[in-house]
Structures are given as C-alpha cells and as structure tokens.
C-alpha cells in the first residue's frame, strides 16, 4: 500500500466511513462528542459490553457471595482459562497455551524466572535498547537474582537511529553466551513491527529460547505464536483489547514447555483437580494455567468478557487491514497538510513493518500534545519528542482522522502550542 493513494479530503473520509465494514462497532463504545480519541494504544475505551460484564460480576458477588467461585453463568474459578481461550485465536495459539493473569511486568518476571537458566557459557539475556523500560527493569532484577551483574549479563541490541532496530544486528548478538532473548513485537515509540518468525527461527538455530512482549501489537496485529514456535509471550489487555485501566494481563507458553515447573509457583497455578486438596507438594496445571500465582482479580478481569468477543466477530485480519488503511490515511494527511511545520514521521511506512500507531516527531512535541488535548484531540506523548497517534479500528472513524489533522494544522499555523510549557505532565 502506498499512502499517496488516499484523497486528503473530508468528503473522502465520509465515503470511507460509509463503506467501513467494521464501522458498526463504533456505537459499542463510549465516545465523547467533544473529543477525538487517538490514544487507544495506551488505554482503550470502555464499551457497553465491558460495562455490562462488570455489572454482571458485581451482581454475582451480590447474589452468590462465595458461591460465585463455582456458581453463576461464569464461575470465577475458571475465568482465567475461559478468557485465555478467547484470547488464543488473536495470537495464533491453542486455548490451553494462553492464560489471563498478573500484569505485564509480573508475567515477565514469571517467564524469565522460568526460562532464564544461566549455565556454562550461556549466562546472558539479550534484549534491546528501545524496549519499554519496565521490561529492562525486570530483566535486570532477574540477572541480579542469579548473583550476576546486569551490566555484563544483560546485552542490549543497539539502534542505529534511535527509532528502529535492525534484525541483522539482533541476530549478530545471538552468541553462544546468550541464554534467553526477550524482545518487543512492536516498538512502543516508533511502532516498528519486528520480524517475529525470523528472529525466532534464528534464536532456535542457536539453541536459544526467545519470548516477546506483545503489549503494542495484540489486538491490532494478528500473530501466529504457535506456528512460529515462539517459546513464550506476554502482554497487557488494556490497550487495543479495551480491558480497562489495570486490566489483568495475559501470557502465552508454547505447549512444548508444558510440564516445566514455573520459576514462581503459587496455588492458582495448581492442577485444578488438586488445588483444594491443600497438599504441601505443588502439582502444576499441564497448561499455561501453571503460570498463575495468586487468586485472580475477578473484578479486573470482568471487562474482557465484554470486549474480547468483538474481536472474534470482527476478525483479526479485518482489524489489521483497517488499521493499515487508517494509519496510511493519517500519514498522507500529515504529509499534505503539515509540510513545513517541522514534523518528521518516525514510524515505518511499509505495511509489513508498521504497527498500529503513527509516530510523529517534533522538537515541541510535549506542548503540541497539550494543545491538541485542549482542542479536543487526545494523543499520546513519549519522551523526548514523539506524538503517538493511534486510530483504533473498532471505534476510530476516518472522519476522526481527517478532523484531527485539521485541528493540528490550525494549532501549528496559529502557534497556539506556544502558550504551553514544552514539558510532559506527570503521566505522559
């Protein structure tokens, strides 16, 4: 797709909305008439179905009390596995390879504690310098827990330009000293989509286990983790999957690793038939369910019962196609409307390498984001100079995109952003 094939007009935006096969999902979400929401890659919006799912679990708690664990329409005891089965098709996995549990960083700790087993020459973890910092904090911690020095035993693949990673450079770092590789599926700043199957194949050729952080791709890009033989993956459910702030996260473990005792064990990772035997010996579930630790956060899982069925109805291929179309339309509008205003496109233009958001770079990015919010467009700022704009296929219209660019153009022409300090807020 070349993004010059779109017409940069309001009429064209209306025409695309009129023929959008996913457009009917828009009415499922609580959208403000006073703003345009382009921050779904950071926190997805509430849907009517998710709201109802929360009401349902509250009602079960009210009616059933402790019997909610085994009674009602959705017994709490089995909800993590049920949600895993809903998520599995989105990442190309079997139902028992996915579990909803923990948070992104807790799940990385769990997976790293399981699969990072330094021995002999293989003592190092390979990550990258552009990944979300929380992942590095967790990996540094895991290295220290083995009595090793992160400065020496956590290797970071470098970026040549501060935006993108080169797979050849990553592969060159896959030496005989590497015990584990942890990489993002999509880079959180630039939106670059890595070649997951190639990296997995190259890691396995060298006898290295590899896992991926899918926070910025699951729900907007189809994956085939099982087919690609990925060892493990983990992601949050509050971005494109619209599970709500603090929504319980998820992880994938390839079935070839079933039976391995997780590095961090807890009673909810037990075989469900034995969990309430209260024996002193841990009997792990023979599935990704073994990677659970403590009691599930039932109230925080509830919205996913409302949000996830929409992805099955829409289909991940259709979601991906609309996402690519909308980000291409956005890039063309930025090209035609904002030339001369100092913006640089910091994301891949190639469909095969682009995630779900557009990354717009500008020296005044923080104050431009503030001006956008004041004018009813909700973007996302990432230091030092990135404005992330994410059309979300289930609820963003083409007209939303067109209007947003017109508002940004007006802000730049009138220099109204100059009234704000070029500094991020407490939460960017």
Question: Is 238 marked active-site?
Answer: yes
Query: Token pair for residue 426?
Result: 């407490």
The catalytic residue among 25, 188, 234, 238 is 238
Question: Is 239 marked active-site?
Answer: yes
Does 29 belong to an annotated binding site? no
- Which residues are registered as beta bridge partners of 388? 359, 380
Half-sphere exposure of 245 (CA within 13 A, CB side): 1
Question: Is 144 marked active-site?
Answer: no
Does 295 belong to an annotated binding site? yes
Does 267 belong to an annotated binding site? yes
The catalytic residue among 122, 189, 239, 370 is 239
Query: For the range 86-91, what are the long-range contacts, defined as Cβ-Cβ under 8 Å and sequence gap of 24 or more?
Result: 86/304, 86/308, 86/309, 86/312, 87/218, 87/237, 87/250, 87/308, 89/312, 89/316, 90/218, 90/219, 90/222, 90/223, 90/311, 90/316, 91/214, 91/218, 91/223, 91/224, 91/225, 91/233, 91/252
Question: Is 420 marked active-site?
Answer: no
Q: Are 186 and 280 in contact (CB under 8 A)?
A: no
CA quadruple 126, 128, 132, 134: dihedral, nearest 10? 30
Does 134 belong to an annotated binding site? yes
Cα–Cα distance for residue pair 328/400, rounded to 1 Å: 14
Does 2 belong to an annotated binding site? no
Question: Is 232 marked active-site?
Answer: no
CA quadruple 426, 379, 377, 29: dihedral, nearest 10? -100
Closest by CA to 180, choosing from 108, 123, 250, 107, is: 123
Does 216 belong to an annotated binding site? yes
Closest by CA to 415, choosing from 373, 371, 382, 375, is: 371
The catalytic residue among 128, 213, 231, 400 is 213
Cα–Cα distance for residue pair 200/168, rounded to 1 Å: 13
Query: Token pair for residue 144?
Result: 């220290």
The catalytic residue among 163, 367, 370, 388 is 388
Neighbours of 30 (CB within 10 A): 12
Does 238 belong to an annotated binding site? yes
Does 213 belong to an annotated binding site? yes
Which residues are documented as binding site?
104-105, 132-135, 213, 216, 238, 267, 295
Catalytic residues: 132, 213, 238-239, 388
Binding residues for pyridoxal 5'-phosphate: 104-105, 132-135, 213, 216, 238, 267, 295
């Amino acid at each position: 797709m070349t993004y010059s094939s779109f017409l940069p007009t309001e009429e064209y935006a209306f025409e695309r909305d009129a023929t959008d096969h996913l457009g009917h999902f828009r009415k499922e979400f609580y959208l403000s008439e006073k703003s345009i929401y382009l921050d779904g890659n950071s926190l997805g919006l509430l849907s009517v179905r998710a709201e109802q799912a929360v009401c349902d679990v509250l009602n079960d708690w009210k009616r059933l009390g402790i019997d909610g664990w085994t009674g009602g329409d959705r017994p709490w005891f089995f909800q993590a596995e049920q949600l895993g089965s809903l998520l599995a098709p989105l990442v190309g996995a079997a139902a028992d390879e996915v579990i909803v549990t923990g948070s992104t960083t807790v799940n990385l700790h769990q997976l790293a504690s399981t699969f990072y087993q330094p021995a002999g020459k293989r003592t190092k973890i390979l990550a990258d310098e552009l990944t979300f910092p929380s992942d590095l904090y967790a990996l540094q911690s895991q290295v220290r827990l083995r009595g090793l020095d992160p400065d020496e035993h956590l290797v970071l693949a470098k970026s040549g330009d501060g935006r993108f990673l080169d797979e050849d450079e990553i592969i060159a770092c896959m030496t005989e000293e590497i015990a584990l590789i942890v990489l993002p599926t999509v880079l959180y700043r630039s939106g670059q989509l890595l070649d997951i199957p190639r990296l997995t194949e190259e890691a396995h050729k060298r006898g290295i286990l590899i896992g991926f952080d899918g926070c910025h791709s699951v729900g907007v890009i189809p994956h085939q983790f099982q087919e690609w033989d990925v060892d493990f993956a983990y992601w949050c459910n509050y971005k494109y999957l619209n599970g709500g702030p603090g929504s319980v996260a998820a992880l994938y473990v390839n079935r070839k690793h079933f039976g391995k005792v997780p590095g961090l064990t807890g009673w909810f990772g037990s075989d469900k038939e034995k969990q309430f035997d209260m024996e002193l010996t841990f009997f792990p579930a023979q599935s990704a369910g073994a990677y659970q630790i403590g009691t599930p956060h039932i109230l925080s899982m509830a919205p996913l019962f409302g949000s996830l069925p929409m992805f099955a109805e829409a289909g991940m291929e259709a979601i991906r196609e609309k996402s690519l179309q909308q980000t291409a339309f956005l890039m063309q509008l930025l090209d035609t409307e904002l030339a001369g205003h100092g913006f640089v496109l910091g994301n891949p233009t190639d469909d095969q390498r682009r995630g779900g958001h557009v990354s717009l770079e500008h020296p005044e990015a923080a104050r431009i984001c503030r001006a956008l919010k004041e004018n009813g467009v909700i973007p996302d700022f990432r230091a030092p100079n990135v404005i992330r704009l994410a059309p979300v296929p289930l609820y963003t219209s083409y007209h939303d995109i067109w209007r947003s660019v017109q508002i940004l153009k007006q802000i730049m022409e009138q220099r109204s952003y100059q009234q704000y300090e070029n500094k991020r807020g407490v939460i960017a």
